[in-house]
A and B are shown apart, each in its own frame.
Chain A
Amino acid sequence: MLAYALRRCLGALLTVLALSFVTFAVFAWLPGDPLAAFESQRRGRALDQARRTALVEELGLAAPLPARYLRWLDNALRGDLGRSLRTQRQVTEELSHRLGPTLELSIASTLLALLASLPLGWWLARKRESLLDRSALVGLVALYALPIFWLAMLLQALLAVHWSVVPLYGRLPASGASGLGTRLHHLALPAACLALHQLAFYARFARNTAAEGLDSIQTLFARACGLTEARITWRHGILPSLVALITLAGLVLPSLVSGAVLIETLFAWPGLGRLFVVAIQARDYPVVLAMTVVIGSLTVTGSLLADLGGRLADPRLRHQVSER
């Protein structure tokens, strides 16, 4: 188990390194003239030849690609991700400012979704293959297919414009008030929209994993031994589905940072997802590179946690022959 864990950690590290290199190389290869864009962003004028040579010198762009990558990596390992082309501020500073709002939104919505979807899923598993279960599943498929930003716009039009019960957008009011009530008031609609989308996924997952456990031969045996229905549901339905939830870490972890791109845009929420979109539009390479590495690392870490956590929690997985 330990050898396996070490091997997987090493693999994860290599994947993140390769990810950053590929992104770096693709940006170098992309057609277009970022220097000209950079100059017009910063000084609002066209780029002449002398200025171009000076910029190439200043940014160290004359060096070959591997050398430039190694310099970036060296700096990155010391916590220096360079400066944003758009704002001229440190990339680390840009990211850290926006991490808080993003986590606020994503953690609130994920908790909301889990609290609502798990009991719903387990209840459906108890009633599996009934008319109620089948129609609920159709409803969940439909909810999952709903474009989340469309749903959010409709709710905005209804709740914020028509009834004025929640603010239309923003994280804090312009007046500068920042009490808990004000924060929750602003958080409610974006978090609820994000939660609804996740709910559709988690509820089906909880329902299917619990139903699988309840249909197993162990459940039959437990019932034959005279265990109560409540106990059977807990031992053979709810527990295995909680364990299976660990395997979703690979999906959940990166979505905590990147999942809210659309909702953050729609609600003018000053988070990382919004930053990512703005950076892509402005072709702000250092920021996009940093975001890619952050999201990629979280994806890799998530699947690592899912794999190792799953093996720790479920002895059956430990004894499975490893695929690779």
Chain B
Amino acid sequence: MSASGHRTPALATGLLLLGLLASVSLGSALLSLDPLAIRTDQILSPPSLEHPLGTDQLGRDLLARLLAGGRPSFLAGLVATGVALLLGVGLGTLASRSPVWIDVLLSRGTDLVYAFPALIGAMVLVGLPGEHPLMALPEGVRVGMIVGLFSWPMLFRFVRVEVRRRLGSDGHLAALAAGAGPVRTLVLHLLPDALAPALVPASFIAGGTILLEAALGFLGLGVRPPEPSWGNLLRDGMTHVDSAWWMVLFPGLVVFLAVLAFQLIGEGLGRQRAEELY
């Protein structure tokens, strides 16, 4: 390892990039851009002053759609990471301090979830009828919930091992000596230490979800048109790959930057942690 002590540039870059993308995307709700306004006289027009990123096959402004499309993507990332953290950390902690048979049961169940191809989650999304209560939720939340249900095993294994590693540490023993009960030591002394390293896989999950949302939309299995999402925009781009380069270039670029931001945050946090340890 190199000289330690400084914040890693990867982390700072990642946070900056993420903040920029998220604030532009969320702030765009305040602007008077309509992502659904159809202009039949402006079909597939290349970038211009009026439409900085061009228009799509229905003459809709790509910039407006790109900004609005970020909302379901970020929402999905947020919800998926939340669900994964809740399940992974909750069950992982439970497994780490339970009798052997519960631990074995939970670990086997995790192996089972891990073996499922995540794409099958899309089956649930496609299969829901319009009147189902889940359909009342925003699209991004629905996609995020499904992705989260498939991405927690990594966190489960991580937290289970991290909590175990801290059994018998000075902090743990001190808490026990002071008379703290099993629940108190777990929640106040073991878990907080295990949570900080869990942020590394969590940020990879967030980035992975944005990528997966884009992939699902691209395959026609995610957020439903005409509502824009980055995945849907890329799907539109696929059908015009030979005529409208702007419809391919810009949506992919924002997905790339968003995923990169989370990757950098994860890398940076991991590296920072490694430097603290050695």
Contact = CB atoms under 8 A, between A and B. Distances in A.
A37 to B, nearest CB: 10
Contacts of B2: 129
Given A31-B127, A145-B207, A23 B215 contact: no
A281 B252 CA distance: 23
Contact of A147 (B10, B126, B215): B215
Nearest to B111: A15
A32 B237 contact: no
Given A15-B115, A288-B123, A296-B116, A145 B256 contact: yes
B116 A277 contact: no
Contact of B128 (A32, A145, A324): A32
Most chain A beta-carbon contacts within 10 A, residue among B114, B123, B126, B263: B123
Nearest to A283: B127
B248 A150 contact: yes
Contact of B119 (A22, A32, A258): A258
Interface string A136-155: 00100110111101110110
Contacts of A324: 103-104, 107
B182 interface: no
B127 A18 contact: no
A281 B126 contact: yes
Contacts of A168: 242
B127 A32 contact: yes
Given A15-B108, A149-B234, A157-B245, A277 B129 contact: no
B255 interface: yes
A194 interface: no
For chain B, which range describes its interface: under 10, 10 to 19, 20 to 34, or 35 or more residues?
A: 35 or more
Interface string B5-17: 0000010000000
Nearest to A158: B245
Given A31-B132, A142-B260, A153-B252, A15 B112 contact: yes
B138 to A, nearest CB: 19
A280 B128 CA distance: 12
Interface in A261-302: 261-262, 265-266, 276-277, 280-281, 283, 288, 291-292, 295-296, 299-300
Contacts of B267: 141
A224 interface: no
B20 interface: no
A113 to B, nearest CB: 19
A18 B116 CA distance: 11
Contacts of B132: 31
Nearest to A161: B242
B263 A147 contact: no
Contacts of A149: 215, 218, 234, 238
B117 interface: yes
B264 interface: yes
Given A150-B256, A280-B119, A157 B248 contact: yes
A300 B220 contact: no
B214 interface: yes
A141 B116 contact: no
B127 A147 contact: no
A283 B123 CA distance: 7
B188 interface: no
A150 B255 contact: yes
A119 interface: no
Interface of A: 11, 14-16, 18-19, 22-23, 26-27, 30-32, 129, 138, 141-142, 144-147, 149-151, 153-154, 156-157, 161, 168, 254, 258, 261-262, 265-266, 276-277, 280-281, 283, 288, 291-292, 295-296, 299-300, 323-324
Q: Identify the 7 closest CB pairs spanning chains A and B, nearest first.
A: A150-B252, A145-B260, A296-B115, A145-B259, A295-B117, A299-B115, A161-B242
